[in-house]
Structure 1
């Protein structure tokens, strides 16, 4: 394999991974911010306990993961549209 092609492919994969990580972390942070208005005291006995805070964090991670997955899929699909024509 040509070393120039290998280097180009390697940097493309690396930058794609970096973009995915940044988008995922951004979506988790936005989810954490959005979940701040969620009244956990209606569902959880002690909303200020470490378990409640961990649940809040896990909910933010799950929601952020789904949103990031959607955004990354949408980004990939929009990049493939140019191949149609």
Structure 2
């Protein structure tokens, strides 16, 4: 019985990790798409250069990470509400 509980826990952690990866990648992709509309030439001298593209990518990763963290936290909090009643 103890082994069954361990297997369920490991499986649950694996699914949780996979969901986190998928949500993070989707949010980074959506952030990249949304940042395409941002006029970086107002802040960067050469937005088409390698450095400008790298900055664009890093902004998408940071923004996507924060959005994904919010969504995953919200999902976790909403699952905890059932223990309130």
Provide the TM-score with structure 1 as the length reference: 0.98
Structure 1 unaligned spans of 5+:
none
Match of 1:50 in 2: 50
Structure 2: unaligned runs, 5 residues or longer = none
Give TM-score scaled by structure 2 length.
Answer: 0.98
Give the Å deviation of 1:45: 0.6
Output one character per residue of 1:43-66: Cα deviation in whole Å (capped at 9) or x when no partner: 111110000000000000000000
The one-character-per-residue Cα deviations of 1:15-64 (angstroms, maximum 9, x if unpaired) are: 00000000000000000000000001111111100000000000000000
How much does 1:83 deviate? 0.4
Q: How many residues get paired?
A: 85
